[in-house]
Chain A
Amino acid sequence: MRPLTSSRSLRLFSKSAVPAATNVVETQSLHRQFGATVAVADLSLSVARGEIFGFLGHNGAGKTTSLKLLLGLLEPSNGSGTVLGAPLGDRRVRARIGFLPEHFRFHASLTARELLRIHGRLHGLRGATLERRIDDLLMRVDLVDAEDRPLRGYSKGMTQRAGLAQALINDPELVFLDEPTSGLDPLGRLLVRDIIQELRERGTTVFLNSHLLGEVEATCDRVVFVREGRVVRELSLKTSNGDFAVELRVAPLDPGLITALGAFGTQVTRVKDMIRMRLSDEESMPKLANWLVQRGLKVYELRSRRRSLEEWFVEIMGDGQRPG
């Protein structure tokens, strides 16, 4: 993988001049059904400009259908929404959007350069500007060596990277990425993570649909959990969500201490020589440390333990669900 220099980053993604406060995606009670099957029941969500937004759910939870509704590939049976301030399906606004579908595929006889040229032209780009953009993107997704080979000879990961480049060809304000790291090896995943980070710095909003919770946790600012096309929980990954767990190892460990720790937090439990408990926020941690020392206890260990996204997922989505 080629490292990304800051100058290249600036060349690839110009800073957005649009105010940061507005929501780029807003939906109200979006509903879509195919015959009797309800794919999206009642989707209401908003995504702020510049946010890296994770869209999580089981297989068949309506994630891809929701994405298609936002992109205008499907019409809602009911409900409404806006993308970049325009009603869903607005043609002009798509010039400001990038999209990487799940399992990206394109005409196999085309080379990566031709693929990007075609998609650039579909966006109305032309000439030297387009060619420069193609050069930059091919380098960014590490396909320079393979740019003149037909896509049919590409590995799954290379195809996915070519797909990612086409999603960024128009320097979009909003990018929808549907499982962008599927088929990528660890280095490929790292590359995608870097690109998302660059998009964040540029102010681009990323709408990320992924099963790989580790990827989502590493990149997203906020996630929503979707079940049967409904948002069942929203979670900020920047804050503790009122769920800041700590583990401490102190001595002496007496029953009175367990009771006294109840003043700082909840669910205080002893596990062997450790105490686990939940604090309301990160700021409570130094107060706790101070209190322990003042009480004359020996503090051997005090560490925070934030709940992983996987644990959240199991808790929120686990009820009555079977592996997808």
Chain B
Amino acid sequence: MASALDNPFHGVLSVARLTWLEARRTRIALAALICAAVFLTAYGLAVYFLFPTSPQPSVRPLLTRQLQLAILTLAGLYVANFLVVAVAVMLPVDSISGEIESGVIETIASKPLARSAIVLGKWLAFLLMTAVYLLLVAGGVVLVVKALTGYLPPHLARALPLMFLGATTLLTLCIAGGTRFKTVTNGIVVFGFYAMAFIGGWVEEIGFILGNESARYIGTAISLISPADSMWRLAAHEMKPPLLQQLPMGPFSTAAVPSGAMVVWAIGFVLAALAVALRQFLKRPL
């Protein structure tokens, strides 16, 4: 018995295992999987009919086709990103706050675990779930387009981790909120942060296009407070072919591309939110 407890990761892994076991059976997980299946089916049908397998180069020049495919792929990945963000928030939103409210946490916290292991274990399990879901949905979009049209967006290896990082900022915020707020309040706060990130991104884009520095600064400031959307915009920029990057405006425009420093900021945001979560939970009466 002593040997397992001596392992510093024992508590984290045990809680992660419990969280995984429980979360995968929730209705949210089932609903997320159904949403992913419905979305990928609808998306696949759309791609199939928009880009028939026998190309018609005379009707649609190759360059136009590539641009249209790039935009359609980005559209698919945009939805995928939204679904991943939703899962990253909905799965953990009730985890800590709900267990505190129901008293479940008392049974867990009375075991020989450090309290930090409870927070880190849950975070790790939801992080893994978010990663799996991202691979399922975003990977599904990429595979559908590749299989039906042969098109593969560039820099996927850089873009998918950026999408993952964006979702991770909200997931970690949700874990931190759960140590302080009740479930509904926590959900509202985190989705508020996401809405703020979304608006921040648009303000920054429009500010850039209109040459309005103030609007751009405001947008950037909002993105610093909530960097989730910045990560999507950076990922989208990475996945655009060079020609599409030249276009100043259009669907999924990334005229104002977030800098690499924003990635460092987002990682710092995650670490800071995690530190807040740990600190709150350590002090929290259960």
Contact = CB atoms under 8 A, between A and B. Distances in A.
B104 A106 contact: yes
A75 B109 CA distance: 13
Please classify the interface of chain B as helix (H, G, I), strand (E, B), loop, or mixed, using the class held by over half of its residues: helix
Interface string A80-98: 0000000000011111010
Given A34-B285, A68-B286, A124-B1, A92 B104 contact: no
A122 interface: yes
For the residues of A in contact with B, the DSSP-based class is loop
A97 B21 CA distance: 25
B65 interface: no
Interface in B1-57: 1-5, 10-11, 14-15, 17-18, 21-22, 25-26
A94 B113 CA distance: 8
A71 interface: yes
Contacts of A104: 103, 107
B114 interface: yes
B103 A105 contact: yes
A73 B112 contact: no
Interface in B85-125: 102-104, 106-114
Nearest to A64: B106
B113 A122 contact: yes
Interface residues of B, number: 29
Q: Which of A123, A163, A170 has the most CB of B within 10 A?
A: A123
A114 B4 CA distance: 19
A103 B110 CA distance: 15
A109 B102 contact: no
A232 B285 CA distance: 26
Contacts of A92: 5, 112
Contacts of B106: 68, 71, 73, 99, 101
A123 B14 CA distance: 9
A107 interface: yes
B110 A73 contact: yes
A126 B5 CA distance: 11
A4 interface: no
Contacts of A166: 107
A73 B111 contact: no
A231 interface: no
A72 interface: yes
A231 B205 CA distance: 67
- Measured as residues with beta carbon below 8 angstroms from the partner, the interface class of chain A is 35 or more
Given A95-B5, A124-B5, A109 B25 contact: yes
Interface string A150-175: 00000000000001001000100000
Quick one: which of B1, B109, B113 has the most chain A CB within 10 A? B1
B108 A122 contact: yes
A40 to B, nearest CB: 12
Contacts of A103: 103
Contacts of A146: none
B110 A71 contact: yes
Contacts of B111: 94, 119, 122-123
A91 B113 contact: yes
Contact of A105 (B10, B25, B26, B104): B104
Nearest to A118: B18
A262 B114 CA distance: 63
Given A91-B113, A124-B2, A105 B285 contact: no
Contact of A124 (B104, B112, B114, B286): B112
Nearest to A169: B111
Contact of B285 (A74, A101, A123): A74
A95 B21 contact: no
Interface of A: 34, 68, 71-75, 91-95, 97, 99, 101-107, 109-110, 114, 118-119, 121-126, 163, 166, 170
30 contacts: A68-B285, A68-B286, A72-B110, A73-B109, A93-B112, A94-B111, A95-B5, A99-B107, A101-B106, A101-B110, A104-B107, A106-B107, A107-B104, A109-B25, A110-B21, A110-B22, A118-B14, A118-B21, A122-B14, A122-B18, A122-B111, A122-B112, A122-B113, A123-B5, A124-B4, A125-B1, A126-B4, A163-B107, A166-B107, A170-B1
Interface of B: 1-5, 10-11, 14-15, 17-18, 21-22, 25-26, 102-104, 106-114, 285-286
Given A91-B112, A107-B22, 5 more contacts: A71-B106, A110-B22, A121-B14, A124-B3, A126-B4
